[in-house]
Amino acid sequence: MKDKTIILTTLNDAWAEPNSIFDLFLESFEIGSNTKWLLKHLVVICLDKKAYARCLASHPHCYQLYTQGANFTSEAAFMSSEYLDMMWRRIRFLSSILDGGYNFVFTDTDIMWLRDPFPQFYSNADFQIACDFFNGDSYSVNNFPNGGFTYVKSNHRTIKFYKFWYFSRKVYPKKHDQDVLNKIKFDRFLTQIGLKMRFLDTLYFGGFCQASKDFNQVCTMHANCCVGLENKVNDLKILLQVWRKYMSLPPNTTATPQLSWTVPQNCSTSFQRLGKHS
């Protein structure tokens, strides 16, 4: 974009399979409210050759990220060593984006873009992040952030912060980036560098953990609190069906009492069984 902002997502072969997550992700931009134009600013970071080939078949901006000795092709089980490696490789890559002077919106591919989110971002924040559960105060570090959706401006504060975040993986071994963020968000270092952190309201940036209750304001919906690729695909398909019904309503409709999210379904049972966020 004119201000050097790019939209980034990461993709591996498992999530790029036909009729899987990536197809739904791109479809959400096509059917969302004022979201189609954002596709020209979306860069898909592909973690393996198959994902790169599949990306090129459906999107113009694909980048293959090579990691020596790593294999990110298959679905990585939540909290497996492959999953952790993939999450920390992502943080290191995003750090390099900031080093290059680019602002970014990072989005997991299991997030549906239903409305242009930029009007709902805080103008005075360096780092803003979505939440699994939002407590009503965007400044409160007691929120439960989700690293699957962030808007970060490139400056000396965020560059230092991402390097600190990546380094902290050694302090908290066998934890993923989100768990480590939950530790370091209280650290005095963030105050010392003057990082302006805000947490995004689930009214606009919802998910299966805590869904947005307002169809007229929701921007994104995340298949969080959900374990398993098939469960995510099933419920995201249902979510997009509900969204299409909303988009087909007359343009002056201000209330949607006849519409409600009918998800999570499979995701709900997967979460109860494992008791983990994903």
- The total number of residues shown for the chain amounts to 278
pLDDT of 95: 97
Residue 31 lies in a domain: yes
Asked if residue 231 belongs to a domain, the reply is no
145 falls within a domain: yes
pLDDT reported for residue 268: 87
Question: Count of CB atoms within 10 A of residue 92's CB?
Answer: 14
CA distance linking residue 252 with residue 163, whole number of Å? 47
Q: What is the pLDDT of residue 79?
A: 45
Residue 122: closest CA among 98, 138, 133, 146: 138
Instruction: Give yes or no for a contact between 224 and 277, defined as CB atoms under 8 angstroms apart.
Output: yes
Residue-level pLDDT at 80: 53
Structure tokens at 20: 């899987």
Q: Pull the structure tokens for residue 245.
A: 């019904």
Tell me how crowded residue 242 is: count the other CB atoms within 10 A of its CB: 16
pLDDT in tens, the chain (278 residues): 999 999 999 998 889 988 899 999 999 999 999 999 999 999 999 988 999 999 999 999 999 987 654 444 444 444 455 666 777 888 999 999 999 999 999 999 999 999 999 999 999 999 999 999 999 999 999 999 999 999 999 999 999 999 999 999 999 988 889 999 999 999 999 999 999 999 999 999 999 999 999 999 999 999 999 999 999 999 999 999 999 999 998 877 665 566 899 999 999 887 665 544 44
CATH of the domain at 13: 3.90.550
Question: In this structure, is residue 143 part of a structural domain?
Answer: yes
Asked whether residue 230 is assigned to any structural domain, the reply reads no
Whole-prediction pTM:
0.91
Is 261 inside any structural domain? Answer: no
- How many independent structural domains does the chain possess? 1
Per-position DSSP letters for the chain, written without gaps between them: -TTSEEEEEEE-HHHHSTTSHHHHHHHHHHHSBT-GGGGGGEEEEESSHHHHHHHHHH-S-EEE---TT----SPPPTTSHHHHHHHHHHHHHHHHHHHTT-EEEEE-TTEEE-B--GGGS-TT-SEEEEEEE--S-TT-TTSEEEEEEEEE--SHHHHHHHHHHHHTTTTSTT--HHHHHHHHTT-HHHHHHT--EEE--TTTEEESSS--S-TTT--EEE--S--SHHHHHHHHHHHHHHHHHHHTS-TT----TT------SHHHHHHHHH----
Residue 273 counted as domain residue = no
Query: Quick one: tokens of 42?
Result: 């979306």
214 domain residue, yes or no: no
Task: Supply the range of the domain harboring residue 177.
Answer: 5-205
